[in-house]
A and B are shown apart, each in its own frame.
Chain A
Amino acid sequence: MTSDASRLGFYLLLAPILLWLVLLIILPHIGLFIVSISEKVGPREYEYGLGNYAAFFGEPLYWRTFARTAIMSILATALTLVLGFPIAYYIAKLTKGRTKTTLFLMCMIPFWVSELVRTFGWMILLRETGVFSNLLQSLGLASGGVEMLYNDAAIMVGLVYTSILFMVVPLVTTLDSLDDSLIEAGYDLGANSTSIMREIVIPHAMPGIVSGCIVVFMLSLGNYLTPILLGGKDSLWFTGMIYTQFITRFNWELGAAFGFLLLALSSLVVFVGLKLSGQSLSETMGRS
């Protein structure tokens, strides 16, 4: 009797996540996959084939954009880590009580507004008639307007800014769990700051670093707004390409194939990243 009731409870608790997975993730992907292996032969006539995937490898523009997106996302992830780690370390180890809460809150406040608004904020700062340009001119450092928008550096700034919170939060959590006495013991045994960082702090924070990197990489790779709004005439981004195929070219078949390739790419990069760092997914996600 009790076991029946608890089993019912188990299934009831499981139902929402199952519904979510099946209805919103698995079914749409099956549909998308079927679209991606359909080739158009005439108006309202389709046949199955791998032509869309072949088109991707046959056209240099497509796979170059694909590679460019991956490389820039990895770069953005690395930059976010470099910038996020000191912030997280400071918050977790060097502050206490109210200061700590305040700093943590300050990291989060920008995320209370939508990504679109934040990106427009960067546009106002970076554009030729924008805040930075005017500041440089009034300081006498530039004679005319300075254009900082519409290039890859602007995209990088936008991506790092958009995703830094997702790096800081897991890092703060893992660094918090590191016992301060371990660091003190390191000093007592004659280690310097660099070797303590290398031998104690970073190994302990590794699950946080890896999970932060996975999230930031995924967010950057799948970002649409930031590269489109901040990027220039040469700044192609793969998600923008998927949008173009679906909406302006009416070519859902190729767009769906692109979508699957992006899924494969992100899974591959995460897999390689886990192997290289010697972490397993369950350990990473479980501990942080």
Chain B
Amino acid sequence: MFANFEKLGVAAVTATAIYALPMAAGADTLRLLTWGGYAPEEVIAKFEAETGHTVEVTTSNNEEMIAKLRATNGGGFDLAQPSQDRITSAQEEFGIYKPIDMSRIKSELFIPSMLAATAENSTFDGEVYGLPHVWGTSGLVVNTAKAGDVTDYTDLCEASVSGKVSYRLKRPTLIGFAYSMGLDPFAAYDDADAYQEILDQVEAKLIDCKPNVKTYWGGGDEIKQLLRSGEVIASMAWDTGGWQLNADDADITFVAPEAGALGWIDTFVLPARGRADDAAYDWINFVMRPDIASMITNTAGNFTAAVDGDAGVNADLKARYQGSFDQAAIDNIKWYPPVPAGLEALEGATLDRVNAAK
């Protein structure tokens, strides 16, 4: 009886010791902090077979990624995937990332313009912190049979869709409404007073619009269920959500708003205290291969910054993408510039007031 217990104890101690020891070079554990769909099982299996590394995936979102890394001063993960506009301010405030070593990246795998744009947007103190991976947009997801006249963000406030509208109470809503009202929030990013003026106008509009809203949605599954059940017929959401719903119900799809869809790029960044940089670089170079990039697009629903990454994407998804975006709509995408530190405090106060308004 006691012998058994001792054996168990010894086994537990050895297991802990093995975990605590730094892994031998060549076979690391990659702790990946990413979005749902960006690291499909089949891709992980292939990566593990080819490189010998193992991958542990944690799915999250922009804010939680930063909060998690902040809590550990950039430890606990070896590779993270925040959007490109959230890198420099987080680095300035919390110092949670480390610079990318460009010589270890196979840069020929990346679409050059996207690689350059992301490098520029994620440069802090002369060092590059981010590489582009997956990009997409947010705009309107509309039931075209019931709310075909909703073509812009402010159309969500029309009486024809009253009580059947949903959007998030988050910063994309502020930005989208501002563009739809003829303002240019991105141009005012660096001027706090001008930005506050824009926020004040948007606040008044959102408070006016509040009776139209059924509920402010929180998670992707929530808005999909609201749209699928027909309880909501017009909403602000991500393009992939609209395309997924379109597969079930041909009436529902993503509409690029007249004022422009809001474009984001999710990146690769190295957390400051990551331990498996080799595995992280291996993963980046692996998933940017055209065949792997197509696999990720097929599960995540969004396209990647990989050269020829759309070659193996299934035809339905391509058709939906082309249905939502013609060339003019693509040219009209408003790409998020880096968020200056402190801007979120202004936006937060505005969102709080909208939330509290009766």
Among B327-351, those with CB < 8 Å from A are 341, 344-345, 348
Say yes or no: is A150 at the interface (Cβ < 8 Å to chain B).
Answer: yes
**Which of B16-24, B64-72, B265-273 touches A?**
B64-72
Residues of B within 8 A of A285 (CB): none
Q: Quick one: CB contact mask for A55-73 with B, threshold 8 Å, 1 for yes? A: 0000111001100000000
Q: Quick one: CB contact mask for A114-129 with B, threshold 8 Å, 1 for yes? A: 0000000000000111
Report yes or no: B356 in contact with A249, Cβ–Cβ below 8 A: no
Please report the C-alpha to C-alpha distance between residue A65 and residue B170 in the assembled complex, in whole angstroms: 19
Report yes or no: B213 in contact with A43, Cβ–Cβ below 8 A: no
Say yes or no: is B193 at the interface (Cβ < 8 Å to chain A).
Answer: no
Report yes or no: A249 in contact with B94, Cβ–Cβ below 8 A: no
Say yes or no: is B95 at the interface (Cβ < 8 Å to chain A).
Answer: yes
Chain B: interface residue total (CB-CB under 8 A): 28
Please report the C-alpha to C-alpha distance between residue A150 and residue B170 in the assembled complex, in whole angstroms: 18
Say yes or no: is A9 at the interface (Cβ < 8 Å to chain B).
Answer: no
Report yes or no: A150 in contact with B356, Cβ–Cβ below 8 A: no
Report yes or no: B216 in contact with A233, Cβ–Cβ below 8 A: yes
Q: A43-B341, A233-B213 are in contact. Are A250 and B218 (CB under 8 A)?
A: no
- A-B interface pairs (CB < 8 A), number: 59
B210 closest partner in A (C-beta): A233
Say yes or no: is B158 at the interface (Cβ < 8 Å to chain A).
Answer: no
Report yes or no: B92 in contact with A249, Cβ–Cβ below 8 A: no
Among B77-114, those with CB < 8 Å from A are 92-95
Report yes or no: A129 in contact with B230, Cβ–Cβ below 8 A: yes
Report yes or no: B229 in contact with A248, Cβ–Cβ below 8 A: no
Residues of B within 8 A of A61 (CB): 352-353, 355-356
Question: How far does the Cβ of A55 sit from chain B's closest Cβ, in whole Å?
Answer: 11
Question: How far does the Cβ of A204 sit from chain B's closest Cβ, in whole Å?
Answer: 45
Q: A44-B95, A250-B93 are in contact. Are A129 and B215 (CB under 8 A)?
A: no
B169 closest partner in A (C-beta): A233
Among A223-249, those with CB < 8 Å from B are 228, 232-234, 236, 244, 246-249
Chain A facing B: main interface SS: loop
Q: A44-B94, A150-B215, A228-B218 are in contact. Are A249 and B230 (CB under 8 A)?
A: no
Report yes or no: A128 in contact with B231, Cβ–Cβ below 8 A: yes
Please report the C-alpha to C-alpha distance between residue A277 and residue B215 in the assembled complex, in whole angstroms: 40
Say yes or no: is A279 at the interface (Cβ < 8 Å to chain B).
Answer: no
Please report the C-alpha to C-alpha distance between residue A152 and residue B358 in the assembled complex, in whole angstroms: 14
Partner of A128, one of B92, B229, B353: B229
Among B208-237, those with CB < 8 Å from A are 210, 213-216, 218, 229-231
Report yes or no: A251 in contact with B345, Cβ–Cβ below 8 A: yes
Report yes or no: B352 in contact with A43, Cβ–Cβ below 8 A: no
Residues of B within 8 A of A65 (CB): 356
Residues of A within 8 A of B50 (CB): none
Task: Using C-beta atoms within 8 Å of the partner chain, give the interface range for chain A.
Answer: 20 to 34
Question: How far does the Cβ of A51 sit from chain B's closest Cβ, in whole Å?
Answer: 13
Q: A44-B93, A248-B63, A250-B93 are in contact. Are A127 and B352 (CB under 8 A)?
A: no
Residues of A within 8 A of B229 (CB): 127-129
Question: How far does the Cβ of B45 sit from chain A's closest Cβ, in whole Å?
Answer: 30
Residues of B within 8 A of A149 (CB): 215
Q: A64-B356, A233-B216 are in contact. Are A249 and B348 (CB under 8 A)?
A: yes
Question: How far does the Cβ of B288 sit from chain A's closest Cβ, in whole Å?
Answer: 30
Question: How far does the Cβ of A60 sit from chain B's closest Cβ, in whole Å?
Answer: 8
Residues of A within 8 A of B341 (CB): 43
Residues of A within 8 A of B348 (CB): 244, 248-249, 251
Residues of A within 8 A of B67 (CB): 246-247, 250
Residues of B within 8 A of A127 (CB): 229, 231
Q: A43-B92, A43-B93, A129-B229 are in contact. Are A250 and B215 (CB under 8 A)?
A: no
B170 closest partner in A (C-beta): A248
Residues of B within 8 A of A129 (CB): 229-231
Question: How far does the Cβ of B182 sit from chain A's closest Cβ, in whole Å?
Answer: 26
Beyond the given A43-B93, A252-B70, could you list 6 further A-B residue pairs with CB under 8 A, ordered by the A residue number? A43-B341, A44-B94, A61-B356, A65-B356, A128-B229, A233-B215
Chain A residues in the interface with B (C-beta under 8 A): 43-44, 59-61, 64-65, 127-129, 145, 147, 149-150, 228, 232-234, 236, 244, 246-252
| 20 cross-chain CB contacts under 8 A | A43-B341, A44-B92, A44-B93, A61-B353, A61-B355, A64-B356, A127-B231, A147-B231, A150-B214, A232-B215, A233-B210, A233-B213, A234-B358, A247-B63, A248-B63, A248-B348, A250-B67, A250-B70, A250-B344, A251-B348
Chain B residues in the interface with A (C-beta under 8 A): 63-64, 66-67, 70, 92-95, 170, 210, 213-216, 218, 229-231, 341, 344-345, 348, 352-353, 355-356, 358
